Amino acid sequence: MKALVFNTFGGPEVLEYIDIADPVIGPDEIMVRMKAIGLNFADIYRRKGNYHLAGEPPYILGYEGAGVVEKTGANVQGISVGDRIAFADVPYANAELVAVPMEKAISVPEMISFTDAASILLQGLTAHYLTRDSYAVKKDDMVLIHAAAGGVGQLLVQMVKLLGGRAIGLTSSVEKAAAAKEAGANQVFLYNDNWVHAVLEETGGNGVDVVYESVGSTLQDSFSVTRIGGTVVFFGMAGGDPVLIDPRMLMDTSKTLTGGDLWNVLTSREERMNRAGELFRWMEAGKVRVSKPTVFALSDGQEAHRFLESRKSTGKILLIP
């Protein structure tokens, strides 16, 4: 099979599109022929050597995608050859064929395209648990969303609105602000402006009920715009490490700091199916939509990585075998 691999850590130029041996599935695995593969910043971090990689080179990136079952292991039940399957957390996805553990296989309804499934699962399931588990968004909640034009950000905007909240977005450019507005944000402010003042003014000086904080370096400012008794959900640090938070501040203001990680939520196939099922139903009903992805051939992986690192993208980037 063909796969996008690398043998040494480095820039996009270390990626090669070559022939390697097909994976061998175990009794509890299925073989999936990939139709669409999601590209994420974690792939860049792994390529650079910032994240741990198991095994020996050539390394294969990718953890998210969708395709068709080509073969099933002896112990697999409820999944058949020809079924449409997607996954959010299976390694070695940058290839024509992927061995997928049965537990991590998510059935894809006929109405959901492979490109939409590969575009939404990782980021959509993240936005789902953030708005359902980390902080359950309620009707009329004022919600501040960092990086609102990003993949998770646009889905957070949509889910906040779906659950009855008011979405305020933060972005880095006018173009990205337009994308956040298109996703449904009630208001969008730019990081270069005095956004703390703007958010407080927007909320009548009271602050928001919850901040979805994915930048990291803005954590203290996020608390500044959170109302007394409000919550900051910390789930990323794309802009740098956060400052240390004094627990006495939390006590004095009755504010809550909570963390979130998708892998603490996706603990079984049942969890994956239930959460993805709600996500797919929202999509089928037109309540959550996926913005048009930027598509590259898997063989053009170097170019795709350069585009993602440029931070010019506002939606999902897909690799097509």
Measured CA to CA, the distance from residue 98 to residue 92 in angstroms comes to 7
| Residue finishing a domain among 215, 233, 259 | 259
Q: How far is CA 10 from the centre of its chain?
A: 23
The radius of gyration computed from the CA coordinates of the chain, to the nearest angstrom, equals: 20
Q: Are residues 16 and 103 in the same domain?
A: yes
Q: 32 and 95: one domain?
A: yes
Closest CA to 131 of 312, 240, 287: 287
HSE toward the beta carbon, residue 149, CA cutoff 13 A? 22
What would the mean pLDDT of 139-154 be, rounded to a whole number?
A: 94
In a domain, 67, yes or no: yes
3-class DSSP state of 244? coil
With a pLDDT cut of 70, the percent of the chain lying above it is 99
* Integer CA distances (angstroms), 317 to 18, 30, 53, 94, in order: 21, 25, 22, 13
Answer whether residue 108 shows pLDDT above 90: yes
Q: Which domain holds residue 252?
A: 139-259
- Cα(95)–Cα(298) distance, integer angstroms: 8
Average pLDDT over residues 109-120: 95
User: What's the CATH code of the domain at 194?
Assistant: 3.40.50.720
Instruction: Judge residue 54's burial from the number of C-beta atoms within 10 Å of its C-beta, 0-12 exposed, 13-18 middle, 19 or more buried.
Output: exposed
My answer on whether 245 and 299 are in the same domain is no
> Closest by alpha carbon to 318, among 288, 301, 285, 293?
293
For 120-133, what is each residue's pLDDT tens digit? 999 999 999 999 99
Residue 239 has what pLDDT?
85
**Closest-CA residue to 179 (of 144, 208, 213, 155):** 155
316 pLDDT higher than 90: no
Least confident window among 29-43, 213-227, 234-248: 234-248
pLDDT in tens, 229-248: 999 999 988 888 899 999 99
Closest CA to 315 of 186, 130, 158: 158
What's residue 51's pLDDT? 80
**Euclidean distance between CA atoms 115 and 255, whole angstroms:** 40
**One domain for residues 178 and 157:** yes
Give Cβ neighbours of residue 206 (< 8 Å, ≥ 6 apart). Answer: 200, 227
Strands 142-145 and 166-171, sheet pairing: parallel
Domain boundary among 259, 286, 310: 259
pLDDT band at residue 292 under the 50/70/90 scheme: confident
- Is 75 found in the same domain as 116? yes
**Residue 128 belongs to a domain:** no
What domain count does the chain have?
A: 2
Residues 6+ apart with CB under 8 A from 140: 164, 165, 166
Residue 155 predicted with pLDDT over 90: yes
Mean pLDDT across 86-95: 95
The rounded distance, in Å, linking the Cα atoms of 32 and 204 is: 52
Average pLDDT (192-218) is: 96
Instruction: Identify the pLDDT of residue 150.
Output: 86
Last residue of a domain, one of 214, 231, 259: 259
Decide if pLDDT at 314 tops 80: no
Mean pLDDT of 269-293: 93
- Please indicate, yes or no, whether residues 110 and 168 belong to a single structural domain of this protein: no
For residue 225, being part of any structural domain is answered with: yes
Give the alpha-carbon dihedral of 177, 182, 188, 190, to 10 degrees: -10
Q: Answer yes or no: do 223 and 206 share one domain.
A: yes
Q: Kindly state whether residue 126 falls inside one of the protein's structural domains.
A: no
**Which two three-digit tokens encode residue 172?**
């880095």
51-76: average pLDDT: 91
Instruction: Give the Cα separation of 11 and 308 in Å (integer).
Output: 12
296 Cβ partners below 8 Å, 6+ apart? 39, 303, 304, 307, 317, 318, 319, 320
Residue 131 lies in a domain: no
What predicted TM-score, i.e. pTM, was given to this entire model?
A: 0.90
